[in-house]
Amino acid sequence: MRSLWKGAISFGLVHIPVRLYTATSSKSVKFNYLHSECKSPVKYMKYCPKCDKEVEMSEIVKGYEYEKGAFVVLKDEDFDNLPTPSTKVVKIVDFVTMEEIDPIYYSKTYYLEPIEGGAKAYALLRRAMEDTGRAAVAQVTIRSKESLACIRVYEGRVLAMETMFYPDEIRGWEGLQGVGAETEEEIHENELTMAKSLIGNLAAGFDPGKYHDRYREALKAMIQERITGEEVYRPEEPTTARVVDLMEALKTSIELTKQKDGTEDRAVH
């Protein structure tokens, strides 16, 4: 695995040097969009409809749409005046029990690995958290975004860090239909007994290895069948740019020829 950055876990006066690694990766099958006629990849460009032209990255600025069609423009120097986020430091601010954190707050998982000089302090923190049944709430900056995070012991060996949503990023469920206590009044006791019995029959320990993405497996099998059957397309390299250049050169040559002919005619007469 390739680490995202090298930094430190910080709590009190203790600094534990660590590396940060992404713990998960999506296995979704990715597709390119092709033009149906020639099977060439479709190109996406940054286009300004008002100026009717393609826009270079150097011409683009950040704009915040505070109401429909109205923007506040922010320049790079504006961001320099903001509070500096905690860069490459996992700053622990509290220790809590895991049961206190609802899974809805979790966003993405990372591994923390001790590096030179940090192995003992890392092991000490891991052991102390495991013995006390505590997890750490921390603040960390990843790719310029400061996030809330939870550090926990994973499989008794490694410290895993979950980035978390802030409370104001969690949507409320109020207003959803059919989720209130009034619905429970319609439940009969025999229905509840049967539901509990069914749950008991399906009860099992969590074994992640027995679950598979059947859709992805079937999709990859279908793609492999097409490859084996040589149902593949190899679009030709685009030559549009060279054609345009040639056309412009021809037009310019014709104009120059007309000017030359006109000059010679005037000289004769």
If DSSP codes are grouped into helix, strand and coil, which group holds residue 43? Answer: coil
Distance CA 149, CA 167 (A): 12
Integer-rounded Cα Rg, in Å, for the chain is 31
Backbone angles phi, psi at 66, to 5 degrees: -80, -20
Distance CA 141, CA 110 (A): 13
Each residue's pLDDT tens digit, 97-145? 999 999 999 999 999 999 998 999 999 999 999 999 999 999 998 887 8
H/E stretch holding 129: helix 119-132
CATH number for the domain formed by residue range(s) 5-27+83-168: 2.40.290.10
* pLDDT value of residue 137: 96
Domain locations along the chain: 5-27+83-168, 239-269
* pLDDT value of residue 236: 75
Please report, for residues 31, 41, 104, 237, the alpha-carbon distance to residue 226 in angstroms, rounded to integers and kept in the order given: 15, 19, 40, 23
Provide the CB-side half-sphere exposure for 27 (13 A, CA).
9
More confident residue, 215 or 92: 92
DSSP symbol at 52:
T
pLDDT value at 44 more than 80: yes
Each residue's pLDDT tens digit, 10-37? 988 889 999 999 999 888 889 999 999 8
Per DSSP, the residues of 198-214 read: HHHHH-----GGG---H
Each residue's pLDDT tens digit, 163-210? 999 999 999 988 888 877 766 777 888 988 999 999 999 898 888 888
Where does the pLDDT of residue 269 fall: very low under 50, low under 70, confident under 90, or very high at 90 and above? very low
Where does the pLDDT of residue 240 fall: very low under 50, low under 70, confident under 90, or very high at 90 and above? low
